[in-house]
Amino acid sequence: MKLLAKMITVAGMAAALVSCSDNAADNENGEFRYLMDEFADLKIMRYQVPGWDGLTLQQKEYVYHLAEAAKYGRDIIWMQNCKYNLDVRKTIENIIENYEGDRTCEDWKQFETYAKRVFFSNGIHHHYAEDKFFPECTKEYFQELMTSVGDGEKCAELLPVIFDPSVYPARKMMSGKDIVAESAVNFYEGVTRAEVEALYAGLVDPSDKTPVSYGLNSRVVKGADGVVREEVYKVGGLYGKALKKICKELKKAAKVAENETQKDYIADLVSYYETGDLKLWDEYNIKWVNDTLGVVDFVNGFVEDYNDPLGRKATWEGLVNFKDSEASRRTELISDNAQWFEDNSPVDSRFKKEEVKGVTAKVINVAVLAGDCYPSAPIGINLPNADWIRREHGSKSVTIANLTSAYDKAAQESPKSMLSEFAWSEDEIALEKKYGGLTNDLHTDLHECLGHGSGKLLPETSPNALGEFSSTLEEARADLFGLYYLADPKLVELGILPDMEAYKAQYSSYIRNGIFTQFTRVAPGKKNMEAHMQNRKLIADWCYEKGLKDNVIEKKVRDGKTYFVVNDYEALRGLFGELLAEVQRIKSEGDYAAGKALVEKYAVDIDPELHAEVLERYSALGLKPYGGFLNPQIVPVRKGLKTVDYKIVYAEDFIGQMMEYGSRYSTL
């Protein structure tokens, strides 16, 4: 639904969200509609929550309060991505709510598109490419909008942030004079890279075998006294108002948790938020990873360090889910055989775990996405991230079934496809259609469940040794592990794959995407900066180069169009294994120089001719390269003063949900 020309109140938007269709029958064929909106390079989808009615009332209440806790962290990720993001968002919200001028003109439409892009990216920088994007409407029109709703005094400060290309040009810089000082992320203020590294060098004990994740939950600043110090995220400290709200909902959730273990680790999580003590974060993670009995699970906290140029500081994220028992049989079979996969890995025996502990895997359905998981969400997760906890206590891996399903169903609602445009032959297309869905999910399972949990650091190696290249290399390591084992007869033996042809679908699509098609997501002339995209390019380009002599991967041209075709799947598997062995060595030994060389040679620079071609061909398809989701509403059903149920209601309006969240969950 588009906004009306007249003022629409936040209360009205919230009512519209709650009153929208809740029976999943909302198109002309009586079927659930997944694709809800498209703008810029983005599409907005919905996901269903299958299995909700099978939960008990207690489990639903548990999910409800965990979801509220997750959503109260929203302002934190906005502040972390850039210190002006929250001011920009609140200005946009004010304009959308209160502007009484013409909402049908082209300028307004351009403003509205910019507003959606800011909402989607949790800020003014592209959620994936990291560079700043700009409104298509003029600065003068934006100033007129701000002035008309009483924000005129903010123009001098905010308009350069929004419009000036030289002001905060990139969320995260990976090259330059000083990647800390030049990055827009709000993890550092007034400090240089050298000062940050000196701070943590003084804190870290190299002999500590169970180190806390130094810097994970803090901002580093230089005070007026010239002293470099941490501002810790905690109740009463930085982001304290948001964390206080989160703790309140977590305490409510603990009262209806499924078991005593859940109550125990929620108490640890609350204590961690109240104190900022990273030892409590580790205690929480150890207890959380050992909870394998509960149906309901969640992620809540400062978790992933992808947005930090130094790979140390974590962004806020939240996700609440419950187990899909039927679909989890596949992942449980993989995790039950984790030791076999570790023992038979092509890496040096020095870097293998002698005993794989606590690897659990399941398929889940999410009920809410939040923070750095919203609107753009992962399809698989493996946690915790601390290497020593993985080594001593194991890890949890999940594949998110209802999101992968939503992506597939939304793609089916479009008449054109990437596959038909970029696959070389009908045989390749047929293989992808037959096996692609299964092998995509299986690669995610292997990546998350076994890849991230595999291998070990040598005793003298710091977990932060790879610095700014750690995220890319870690994702490459997990991807390579999954790719290598997709072609292993063990998967057929276990009944996970139907035959030894199936893996070829994933090999073809991975190479095609890594070398070529993923760059539909990158603007012309830009470098490849996002860690997952860098990982895929590194793997595909390295294998292409190493296989040139034997024509393992062939670049073909037909009718002026370029294709990348796998000629020798067995040889490609060998290359995946060879690169896996090297990347694992780099991580295990902390070989910064070798990791840097790999990333800089294979992962960053995009061939300009191929880039121009893929953008042109993709543009003709009319597709959007990035997707994100509307959350469903979890609505209490009451009889008198008693809550008798919790109902899932599917939202329909992206801006409406953003405005409702801005009103209801604003804390900072």
Q: What pLDDT is attached to residue 245?
A: 98
Is residue 643 domain-shared with residue 598, that is, in the same domain?
no
pLDDT in tens, 502-521: 999 999 999 999 999 999 98
Using alpha carbons, list the distances in angstroms from residue 588 to 302, 346, 388. 25, 14, 13
SS3 36: strand
Burial (CB < 10 A; 0-12, 13-18, 19+), residue 171, is buried
Q: What pLDDT is attached to residue 7?
A: 26
Identify the H or E element spanning 233.
none
Task: DSSP letter for 132, please.
Answer: B
Q: What pLDDT is attached to residue 258?
A: 97
Q: How large is the average pLDDT for residues 277-302?
A: 97
* Residue that is written with structure tokens 């187990």 in the block: 323
424 in a structural domain = yes
* Cis peptide upstream of residue 211 (ω within 30 degrees of 0): no
299 in a structural domain = no
Residues 183, 185: Cα–Cα separation, whole Å: 6
Count of Cβ atoms closer than 10 Å to residue 421 Cβ:
16
Q: What is the mean pLDDT of the chain?
A: 93
Q: Is-contact 95 8, C-beta < 8 A?
A: no
List of residues 6+ apart from 524 with CB closer than 8 A: 611, 612, 615
126 in a structural domain = no
List of residues 6+ apart from 599 with CB closer than 8 A: 469, 472, 473, 534, 538
181 in a structural domain = no
Residues 185, 73: Cα–Cα separation, whole Å: 17
11 in a structural domain = yes
List of residues 6+ apart from 454 with CB closer than 8 A: 341, 342, 345, 352, 353, 356, 477, 481, 584
Residue 38, strand partner residues? 43
Is residue 616 domain-shared with residue 637, that is, in the same domain?
no
DSSP assignment of 320-379 equals EEEE-TTTHHHHHHHHHTHHHHHHT-SS-GGGS-SS---EEEEEEEEEEEEETTSSS--S
Is residue 638 domain-shared with residue 616, that is, in the same domain?
no
Q: Is-contact 97 3, C-beta < 8 A?
A: no
Q: How large is the average pLDDT for residues 231-240?
A: 98
Residue 469, strand partner residues? none
Task: Specify the number of domains making up the chain.
Answer: 2
Q: What pLDDT is attached to residue 414?
A: 75
Residues 383, 588: Cα–Cα separation, whole Å: 19
* Residue that is written with structure tokens 């809550």 in the block: 643
Residues 405, 408: Cα–Cα separation, whole Å: 5
Is pLDDT of 31 > 90? no
Is pLDDT of 8 > 50? no
Q: What pLDDT is attached to residue 411?
A: 84
For residue 603 the two structure tokens come to 């992962």
pLDDT in tens, 47-91: 999 999 999 999 999 999 999 999 999 999 999 999 999 999 999
pLDDT in tens, 173-220: 988 889 999 999 999 999 999 999 999 999 999 899 999 999 999 999
Is residue 652 domain-shared with residue 565, that is, in the same domain?
no
Is pLDDT of 14 > 50? no
SS3 236: coil
Is pLDDT of 635 > 50? yes
Find, among 72, 101, 85, 87, the residue nearest to 7 by Cα: 101
Range of the domain at 332: 324-621
Residues 1, 630: Cα–Cα separation, whole Å: 13
Task: DSSP letter for 598, please.
Answer: H
Percent of the chain with pLDDT over 90: 87
Is residue 405 domain-shared with residue 508, that is, in the same domain?
yes
pLDDT in tens, 539-568: 999 999 999 999 999 999 999 999 999 999
Is residue 377 domain-shared with residue 340, that is, in the same domain?
yes
Q: What pLDDT is attached to residue 83?
A: 97
Is pLDDT of 107 > 60? yes
Q: What pLDDT is attached to residue 27?
A: 59
Q: Is-contact 389 286, C-beta < 8 A?
A: yes
Count of Cβ atoms closer than 10 Å to residue 425 Cβ:
12
Q: Is-contact 586 599, C-beta < 8 A?
A: no
Using alpha carbons, list the distances in angstroms from residue 548 to 403, 512, 513. 37, 16, 18
Is residue 555 domain-shared with residue 645, that is, in the same domain?
no
Q: How large is the average pLDDT for residues 97-108?
A: 97
Q: What pLDDT is attached to residue 408?
A: 87
Residues 344, 465: Cα–Cα separation, whole Å: 26
Residues 667, 76: Cα–Cα separation, whole Å: 9
Is residue 494 domain-shared with residue 385, that is, in the same domain?
yes
Q: Are strands 42-46 and 626-630 parallel, antiparallel or unpaired?
A: parallel
Residues 158, 660: Cα–Cα separation, whole Å: 23
Amino acid 601 reads K
Q: Given pLDDT bands bounded at 50, 70 and 90, which one contains residue 28?
A: low
pLDDT in tens, 581-615: 999 999 999 999 999 999 999 999 999 999 999 99
Q: What pLDDT is attached to residue 99?
A: 98
Q: How large is the average pLDDT for residues 329-340?
A: 92
19 in a structural domain = yes
Q: Is-contact 557 550, C-beta < 8 A?
A: no
Is residue 437 domain-shared with residue 545, that is, in the same domain?
yes
Q: Is-contact 244 67, C-beta < 8 A?
A: no
Residue 302, strand partner residues? 316
Helices (H), strands (E): how many in the chain? Answer: 25, 15
Q: Are strands 380-383 and 359-371 parallel, antiparallel or unpaired?
A: unpaired
Residues 127, 533: Cα–Cα separation, whole Å: 13
Is residue 453 domain-shared with residue 424, that is, in the same domain?
yes
Q: What pLDDT is attached to residue 26?
A: 63
Residues 535, 529: Cα–Cα separation, whole Å: 10
Which has more confidence, 11 or 279? 279
60 in a structural domain = no
Q: Is-contact 360 396, C-beta < 8 A?
A: yes
Q: Are strands 315-323 and 228-232 parallel, antiparallel or unpaired?
A: unpaired
Residues 61, 240: Cα–Cα separation, whole Å: 25
* Cis peptide upstream of residue 384 (ω within 30 degrees of 0): yes
Is residue 647 domain-shared with residue 578, that is, in the same domain?
no
pLDDT in tens, 242-284: 999 999 999 999 999 999 999 999 999 999 999 999 999 999 9
For residue 476 the two structure tokens come to 């490459």
Identify the H or E element spanning 575.
helix 569-589
Secondary-structure breakdown of the chain: helix, strand, coil percentages, each rounded to the nearest 5:
50, 15, 35
252 in a structural domain = no
Residues 372, 243: Cα–Cα separation, whole Å: 16
Q: Is-contact 398 363, C-beta < 8 A?
A: yes
Is residue 607 domain-shared with residue 636, that is, in the same domain?
no
Find, among 325, 318, 408, the residue nearest to 363 by Cα: 325
Angle 373-648-637 from CA coordinates, rounded to 5°: 130
